[in-house]
């Protein structure tokens, strides 16, 4: 049975008992009040008797009318009291007592008035005066007897009332006692029963909870019955089940966490070793406060001890070469605006000795506030002074080589053009019948060689300048460039019957000439290595992906075996099977050089159904 039901039953029984007792108590109170009223009335009757006796004695003393009148009034009062008593008293003995009182008071009245009458007679009596005097005494004696009876009966009535008061009081006390005892008993028995029940039912819960608390997650509390404790046991079991699952999950997570922590520790160790090995400095910048924490290597790069440098961005900015600050700020700004995934800068800082030290700094914001502002950034710095020196040297060498190449190309183009020009002049000035076939072939070979040399020199020039923009770097609409290119190659396209398809092509960030070179070389290759039997079909498509544009130039040509797909990007590399005198073997090398100089990559794939697909990406 549910505890709530038990409590309801107990409460109902208790309330019922209390209602019964309360009714009996009310009845007893009314009885007590009635008994008390009877007592008061009996007392009043007795008091009246004494008043009457007083007036009687006064009359016998002086035989005056005043005392008689007072006695009569007292008798009237007695009659009224008896009338009241008739309505108020009950019980056979009380009724008998009242009857006796009535009779004796009436008798007393008769005797008293007879005495009064005899008193009048006495005043005139002469011869037998002694008889009336004797009568007076006899009557008075009888009056005393009646008075004694009245007093006794009134006393009995009063005693009876007092006894009834005492009895009803006793009953009242017993009932109140019973009331209190019943209440106390009900409370205590209920408390004990509930206490026993709760202890009995709580013990398994307590033991179970303790076992679970001690770690025995597999323990389940026995659930018998249908009361609240059973529900509680079921809840605890469910909670234990959930706790057990959570514990298992937590253990797994802790294990994983430990592994991760260990890995992290190893990684940290390796990182520190790598940093140390790479001679890298680290920095940790709290952006709002400007606090910049760095390691020893950081100070060492600048020739200072760690204590000598203040840990603030302002202090660092003072060491940076003023010419480099704008680009540093711009790069930070772009990173803070999330335009770049990392901050990367190469700049100069002043060494303690006064010379400039080139530093390559890389970092990343690792914490942002709720408004998206950077809070915390970390990064590394590397002394690249030596690398810069070598790069400078290389740049100079490259520049010298470029200059040499340009000059050499220029000088090589001139004789080539002359060879072609003079060859053509010879062919026009010497009549055809004067030239032998051998001479004609020689002129043709001279002209062809000069043309090939010119193309070769042009492509070498293109290759050498491929990593440098040849005009402004900008967002270039690829469709415009392609349209113009297709117009230039319209005759070739007509000759080959090739079809070029393209849809919306995303713009790329590059200089227009080099984009044109890329597309031109790839279209030429597609047309050059077309399938002998199929209509050449070239499909150009592009899509944006993570800030870069990925382009596909797919043809249905002869294709390139997979083992040659990397090799063909080499300078002067051509497939033997596709030997073409018009090919210089530098085209794809130029394409790769341009694309890679823009941070992209290029690769070859087989077009589904046959052919070659060139896949490359450029900044969007």
Q: Which residues contact another protein (rule: CB under 8 A)?
A: 92-93, 96, 100, 107, 110-111, 114, 121, 128, 131-132, 134-135, 137-139, 141-142, 144-145, 148-149, 151-152, 155-156, 159, 170, 174, 177-178, 181, 184-185, 188, 191-192, 195-196
334 CB-near residues (< 8 Å, 6+ apart): 340
Question: For residues 114 and 470, which CB has a smaller minimum distance to another protein in the complex?
Answer: 114
Question: For residues 138 and 334, which CB has a smaller minimum distance to another protein in the complex?
Answer: 138
Residue 555: φ, ψ to 5°: -125, 170
Smallest distance, another protein to C-beta of residue 136, A:
10
Angle between helices 478-488 and 512-528 (to 10 degrees): 50
C-alpha distances out from residue 67 to 50, 58, 135, 430, Å: 14, 6, 20, 198
Q: Scanning the structure block, which residue is given the tokens 């070859």? A: 604
Smallest distance, another protein to C-beta of residue 265, A:
58
Residue 543: φ, ψ to 5°: -150, 150
Question: For residues 185 and 310, which CB has a smaller minimum distance to another protein in the complex?
Answer: 185
Residue 206: φ, ψ to 5°: -60, -50
Smallest distance, another protein to C-beta of residue 245, A:
39
3-state secondary structure of 190: helix
3-state secondary structure of 185: helix
Residue 211: φ, ψ to 5°: -65, -40
Question: For residues 115 and 466, which CB has a smaller minimum distance to another protein in the complex?
Answer: 115
Residue 596: φ, ψ to 5°: -65, -35
Q: Token pair for residue 28?
A: 């007893």
Question: For residues 106 and 323, which CB has a smaller minimum distance to another protein in the complex?
Answer: 106
Smallest distance, another protein to C-beta of residue 192, A:
5
Whether the Cβ atoms of residue 557 and residue 526 lie closer than 8 Å to each other = yes
Question: For residues 141 and 276, which CB has a smaller minimum distance to another protein in the complex?
Answer: 141
In 300-373, the DSSP E strands lie at 343-350, 356-368
Q: Token pair for residue 534?
A: 């199929």
Q: Scanning the structure block, which residue is given the tokens 């010879």? A: 426
Smallest distance, another protein to C-beta of residue 220, A:
27
Residue 345: φ, ψ to 5°: -150, 145
Using DSSP bridges, classify how beta strands 280-286 and 291-294 pair: parallel, antiparallel or unpaired: antiparallel
Smallest distance, another protein to C-beta of residue 97, A:
11
Smallest distance, another protein to C-beta of residue 185, A:
6
Question: For residues 135 and 479, which CB has a smaller minimum distance to another protein in the complex?
Answer: 135
Bridge partners, residue 475, by sequence? 509
Whether the Cβ atoms of residue 2 and residue 227 lie closer than 8 Å to each other = yes
Smallest distance, another protein to C-beta of residue 228, A:
22
Question: For residues 141 and 255, which CB has a smaller minimum distance to another protein in the complex?
Answer: 141
3-state secondary structure of 467: coil
Smallest distance, another protein to C-beta of residue 263, A:
59
Question: For residues 177 and 599, which CB has a smaller minimum distance to another protein in the complex?
Answer: 177
Smallest distance, another protein to C-beta of residue 176, A:
11
Smallest distance, another protein to C-beta of residue 187, A:
9
Question: For residues 196 and 389, which CB has a smaller minimum distance to another protein in the complex?
Answer: 196
**Angstrom distance (rounded) from CA 513 to CA 536:** 26
Question: For residues 196 and 567, which CB has a smaller minimum distance to another protein in the complex?
Answer: 196
C-alpha distances out from residue 516 to 57, 132, 582, 612, Å: 159, 175, 19, 20
Q: Scanning the structure block, which residue is given the tokens 């020739």? A: 303
Q: Token pair for residue 110?
A: 């008769």
C-alpha distances out from residue 361 to 103, 304, 378, 539, 546, Å: 136, 18, 10, 42, 24
Question: For residues 179 and 564, which CB has a smaller minimum distance to another protein in the complex?
Answer: 179
566 CB-near residues (< 8 Å, 6+ apart): 604
Closest CA to 457 of 489, 419, 423, 426: 419
Smallest distance, another protein to C-beta of residue 125, A:
8
181 CB-near residues (< 8 Å, 6+ apart): none
Smallest distance, another protein to C-beta of residue 6, A:
17
Smallest distance, another protein to C-beta of residue 110, A:
5
Smallest distance, another protein to C-beta of residue 142, A:
6
Alpha-helical segments (H) within 278-432: 296-301, 313-319, 325-336, 385-429
Question: For residues 166 and 580, which CB has a smaller minimum distance to another protein in the complex?
Answer: 166
C-alpha distances out from residue 195 to 2, 12, 122, 201, Å: 14, 19, 92, 10
Question: Read out DSSP for 549-604?
Answer: EEEEEEE-SS---GGGTTGGGSTT---GGG--TT--S-HHHHHHHHHHHTT--EEE
Question: For residues 198 and 291, which CB has a smaller minimum distance to another protein in the complex?
Answer: 198
Question: For residues 33 and 170, which CB has a smaller minimum distance to another protein in the complex?
Answer: 170
């Amino acid at each position: 049975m549910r505890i709530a039901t038990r409590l309801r039953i107990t409460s109902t029984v208790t309330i019922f008992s209390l209602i019964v007792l309360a009714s009996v108590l009310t009845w007893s109170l009314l009885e007590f009040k009635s008994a008390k009223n009877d007592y008061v009335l009996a007392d009043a009757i007795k008091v009246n008797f004494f008043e009457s006796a007083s007036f009687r004695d006064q009359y016998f003393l002086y035989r005056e009318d005043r005392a008689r009148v007072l006695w009569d009034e007292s008798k009237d009062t007695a009659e009224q009291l008896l009338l009241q008593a008739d309505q108020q008293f009950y019980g056979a003995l009380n009724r008998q007592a009242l009857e006796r009182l009535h009779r004796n008071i009436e008798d007393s009245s008769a005797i008293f008035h007879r005495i009064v009458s005899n008193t009048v007679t006495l005043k005139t009596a002469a011869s037998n005066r002694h008889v009336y005097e004797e009568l007076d005494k006899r009557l008075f004696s009888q009056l005393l007897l009646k008075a004694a009876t009245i007093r006794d009966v009134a006393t009995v009535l009063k005693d009876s009332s007092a006894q009834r008061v005492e009895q009803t009081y006793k009953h009242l006390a017993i009932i109140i006692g019973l009331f209190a005892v019943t209440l106390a008993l009900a409370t205590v028995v209920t408390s004990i029963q509930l206490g026993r029940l709760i202890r009995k039912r709580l013990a398994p819960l307590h033991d179970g909870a303790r076992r679970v608390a001690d770690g025995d997650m597999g323990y389940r509390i026995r659930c018998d019955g249908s009361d609240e404790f059973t529900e509680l046991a079921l809840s605890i079991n469910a909670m234990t089940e959930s706790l057990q699952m959570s514990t298992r999950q937590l253990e797994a997570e802790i294990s994983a966490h430990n592994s991760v922590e260990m890995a992290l520790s190893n990684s940290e160790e390796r990182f520190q070793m790598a940093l140390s090995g790479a001679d890298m400095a680290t920095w940790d910048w709290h952006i709002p406060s400007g606090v910049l924490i760095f390691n020893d290597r950081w100070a060492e790069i600048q020739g200072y001890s760690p204590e000598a440098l203040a840990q603030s961005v302002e202090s660092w900015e003072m060491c940076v070469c003023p010419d480099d600050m704008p680009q540093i700020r711009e790069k930070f700004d772009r990173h803070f605006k999330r335009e770049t995934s990392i901050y990367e800068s190469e700049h100069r800082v002043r060494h303690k000795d006064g010379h400039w030290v080139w530093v390559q700094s890389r970092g990343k914001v690792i914490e942002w506030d709720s408004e998206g502002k950077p809070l915390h950034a970390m990064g590394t710095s590397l002394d690249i002074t030596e690398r810069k020196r070598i790069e400078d040297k290389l740049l100079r060498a490259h520049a010298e080589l470029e200059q040499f190449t340009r000059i050499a190309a220029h000088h090589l183009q001139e004789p080539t053009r002359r060879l072609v020009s003079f060859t053509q002049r010879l062919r026009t000035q010497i009549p055809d019948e004067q030239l032998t076939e051998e001479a004609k072939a020689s002129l043709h070979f001279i002209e062809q060689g000069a043309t090939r040399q010119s193309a070769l020199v042009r492509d070498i020039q293109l290759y050498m300048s491929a990593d440098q923009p040849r005009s402004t770097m900008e967002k270039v609409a690829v469709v415009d460039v392609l349209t113009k290119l297709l117009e230039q190659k319209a005759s070739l396209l007509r000759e080959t019957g090739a079809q070029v398809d393209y849809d919306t092509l995303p713009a790329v960030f590059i200089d227009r000439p080099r984009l044109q070179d890329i597309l031109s070389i790839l279209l030429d290759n597609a047309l050059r290595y077309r399938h002998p039997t199929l209509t050449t079909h070239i499909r150009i498509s592009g899509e944006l992906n993570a800030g870069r544009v990925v382009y596909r130039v797919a043809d249905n040509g002869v294709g390139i075996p997979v083992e040659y797909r990397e090799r063909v990007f080499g300078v002067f590399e051509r497939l033997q099977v596709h030997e073409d005198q018009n090919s210089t073997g530098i085209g794809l090398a130029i394409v790769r050089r341009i694309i890679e100089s823009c941070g992209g990559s290029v690769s070859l794939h087989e077009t589904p159904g046959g052919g070659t697909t060139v896949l490359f990406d450029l900044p969007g």
